[in-house]
Structure 1
Amino acid sequence: MKQLVLLAILVIFSFSCKKETKFIHRNISEIEISHILEDSLLNVRALEINEGRVVAASSRGEIYRSVLSYMKDFEVGNYWSVTEDSLKPSNFRSIAFQGDKTFTLSIGSPAKLFSDGWLVYYENHPKVFYDSMAFWNDQEGIAIGDPTTDCMSVIITRDGGGTWAKLPCDVLPKAKASEAAFAASDTNIAIVGDHTWVATGGKVSRVLYSPDRGKSWEVFNTPIVQGKETTGIYSIDFYDEQNGFAIGGDYTKPDENTANKIKTSDSGKTWQLVAENQNPGYRSCVQYVPNRGGKELVVVGFKGIDYSNDSGDTWKHLSDEGFYTIRFLNDSVAYAAGAGKISKITFRE
């Protein structure tokens, strides 16, 4: 009888304990780049992967879509505004693919936000310049831009992108003199659950933070290089609610590698400089490699592709091939875009 009781206890204990999955360290040593679409006039800074599709937007107002199984069969759609300047193409630097809808946002005045080609937001102001867009869920999304008054421009939708409203400055941190953002890779916004981080740049480079999908905000200082209109954070990403990374520098001095890489482990409240005086220099986009425990990061810019497997403390240069932006499909395959191309990148040990 005692043996049966002991056996029962062992069975219950074995089922109640979770099996621990060992994290296997790896070191990416090479990449394979396949150009999916090439065009000398192509200029893409906004690209997303969602629900089995790659969607990209160009500075000529073109939208590129493809099912991942057929990456060579890109569908090109030219979207136009329905306003009085409807014959002018839009310079898209922000894109979001949410559910069945593709949202695209142009940069300068007038700023035009489209939902599958239908104009859903329009803003005409001499200082209008939108930089990035992202969604929390199927109903709620956010886009950010440079200040038109004394705060960053933040527009939000709560109805699936049908309508957008600009937040008043009394609910946002006040912008500093010459503080703005960069429309370099559509990665000025990082979202994890309800948490949101927005990176600013220029003469002042800080991180705006909202814990509740844009309903309340605070702001944190950073030690990244700043002081000129071309300096600061160009890209930010978070692996989870605590751990984030940001990169930038000065695109007019792309080889400078001082104070251009920072990371946080406390939700962005404090930031530390990493890889000081080590390459890479200026880069326009950073992304955590998915499912790698926040250890692996990839950055891209017009000077090449770099990789870290120790949370950004050290880096390996993988290629001189230039890109503006990158998104991961899984831990070994990504899609990147830049001047003249959209490409598939495979990472290998």
Structure 2
Amino acid sequence: MKKLLFLCIVVLISSCKSSEKEGLRDLTGIAVTPMLEDSMSVRAIEIVSEKTLWFADDKGQYGYFDFKGEPVTYAITYDTLVPHFRAIASNGKDVFLLSIGSPALLYKTNKSGKAHLVYRETHPKAFYDAMKFWNEKEGIAIGDPTEGGCLSILITRNGGDSWSRIPCGKLPLVMDGEGAFAASNTNIDIVGDETWVATGGLRSRIFYSPDKGNSWEAYNVPVVQGEPTLGMYSVDFWDKHHGIAIGGDYTRPEYNTANKAITTDGRKSWTLVASKKYPGYRSCVQYVPGRYGREVVAAGFEGISFSRDGGHHWKPLSDEGFYTLRFLNDSVAYAAGKGRIARLDFKQQNID
């Protein structure tokens, strides 16, 4: 019986390793197909139910593509203010739009286009950066410190109908000059109940919650920091153990020292990868779905980069500039940037 059990385990492990080796590939380029071109700037996109791509821009516009035709667009103003949206999220039922600056405006909408204001904050320092949902009922938005020495973190537990701030007494204190970047709506990630938030500026750290925002810890990351434009801009996790962060300095996009880091223990220890090597500044990093955490794509206004070994080595795929991207599957993604939203079809070749 023991021998049979041992044999089954060996076969299972061998099968897993074999399946990971099957389909090894290299991405060699990207075919970029424009979907919407305008004078807008888009840093907030979200694929909902793998059928619809939602977006929101800096001119109070929002809407969606159903991947079959022209976009459906809407626009909103608050009194005379035109919201500058940089965060978008969905709970699978509704879509939420969050503006930067003060007043901070958080709207709930759906395909009808009707938008309902569900949260407003008028603190003069209000500046929210990113938003994501754990499930249909519970979601989180994160922003820069206002007062009390902590990040601004909003939580909903009722499907986004109302939001409330976590008191500073329940959060780690921020360091002087520590904040977050509203560059791509990807400086926050969620796996199950666990949550990671990447900060940047004079200090750049990972804030971690194991329990959907009820408790928090902060961990140092050895990335470049010490100036307002330095640090991590984006973080993504393949599973609860393996994650990657990327950033740099958008004012010096060629600067590539200590701007990429990975973790294999979920948060506590981070290791620099490809330091002083290509690429420089990138505002968004995403694991390629279905590729065992090996393949990673990073986007920025100077181009799109690819790693097929978890972030250790990189190569350019395109010099087309985008702020953010989301994968539909392992061969197709959607990206947004200055003046456009586009479909990305990845060119590939098999590796023996």
Contact 1:197 1:210 in 2 (8 A): yes
Query: What displacement does 1:88 show?
Result: 1.6
- Name the structure 2 match of 1:99: 92
**Over residues 278-327 of structure 1, what are the superposed CA-to-partner deviations in whole Å (9 max), with x where a residue is unaligned?**
11000000000001110000000000000000000000101110000000
**Over residues 39-89 of structure 1, what are the superposed CA-to-partner deviations in whole Å (9 max), with x where a residue is unaligned?**
1x1100011111110001100010020112x1x4100111233xxxx2321
Over aligned residues, Cα RMSD in angstroms? 1.7
- Name the structure 2 match of 1:5: none
Query: What displacement does 1:113 show?
Result: 0.2
Contact 2:99 2:105 in 1 (8 A): yes
- Name the structure 2 match of 1:130: 128
Contact 1:55 1:97 in 2 (8 A): no
Separation of aligned partners in 2, 1:344 and 1:118:
30
**Over residues 109-130 of structure 1, what are the superposed CA-to-partner deviations in whole Å (9 max), with x where a residue is unaligned?**
0000000110000000111100
- Which letter maps to 2:70? D
Separation of aligned partners in 2, 1:59 and 1:181:
18
- Which letter maps to 1:315? W
Residue 232 of structure 2: SS of its match in structure 1?
Answer: strand
**Over residues 2-25 of structure 1, what are the superposed CA-to-partner deviations in whole Å (9 max), with x where a residue is unaligned?**
xxxxxxxx9xx99xx866461132
Residue 76 of structure 1: SS of its match in structure 2?
Answer: strand
Residue 88 of structure 2: SS of its match in structure 1?
Answer: strand
- Which letter maps to 1:137? N
- Name the structure 2 match of 1:78: 75
Query: What displacement does 1:100 show?
Result: 2.7
Separation of aligned partners in 2, 1:203 and 1:234:
13
Separation of aligned partners in 1, 2:86 and 2:60:
9
- Name the structure 2 match of 1:110: 103
Residue 246 of structure 1: SS of its match in structure 2?
Answer: strand
Separation of aligned partners in 2, 1:341 and 1:347:
18
1:36 corresponds to 2:29: no
Separation of aligned partners in 2, 1:228 and 1:99:
38
Question: Within 5 Å, which residues of 2 pair with 1:67-216?
Answer: 67-68=66-67, 70=68, 72-81=69-78, 86-116=79-109, 117-149=115-147, 150-216=149-215
Greater mean deviation of Cα atoms: 160-169 or 91-100: 91-100
Q: Using structure 1 for the length normalisation, give the TM-score.
A: 0.92
- Which letter maps to 1:250? D
- Which letter maps to 2:218? V
Separation of aligned partners in 1, 2:146 and 2:182:
16
Greater mean deviation of Cα atoms: 155-164 or 58-67: 58-67
Unaligned 5+ segments in structure 1 are 1-9
- Which letter maps to 2:300? G
- Name the structure 2 match of 1:4: none
Query: What displacement does 1:156 show?
Result: 0.3
Contact 1:303 1:320 in 2 (8 A): yes
Question: Within 5 Å, which residues of 2 pair with 1:200-239?
Answer: 200-239=199-238
Contact 1:115 1:161 in 2 (8 A): yes
Question: Within 5 Å, which residues of 2 pair with 1:313-328?
Answer: 313-328=312-327
Separation of aligned partners in 1, 2:224 and 2:277:
14
Query: What displacement does 1:99 show?
Result: 2.2
Separation of aligned partners in 1, 2:184 and 2:45:
8
Question: Within 5 Å, which residues of 2 pair with 1:237-248?
Answer: 237-248=236-247
- Which letter maps to 1:79? I
* Count of aligned positions: 332
Separation of aligned partners in 1, 2:275 and 2:230:
16
Residue 22 of structure 1: SS of its match in structure 2?
Answer: helix
Separation of aligned partners in 1, 2:26 and 2:63:
33
Separation of aligned partners in 1, 2:102 and 2:37:
29
Identity %: 52
**Over residues 239-264 of structure 1, what are the superposed CA-to-partner deviations in whole Å (9 max), with x where a residue is unaligned?**
00000000000111000111000000
Contact 1:35 1:342 in 2 (8 A): yes
Q: Using structure 2 for the length normalisation, give the TM-score.
A: 0.91
Contact 2:93 2:136 in 1 (8 A): no
Question: Within 5 Å, which residues of 2 pair with 1:275-294?
Answer: 275-294=274-293
Separation of aligned partners in 2, 1:324 and 1:239:
21
- Name the structure 2 match of 1:6: none
- Which letter maps to 1:283? R
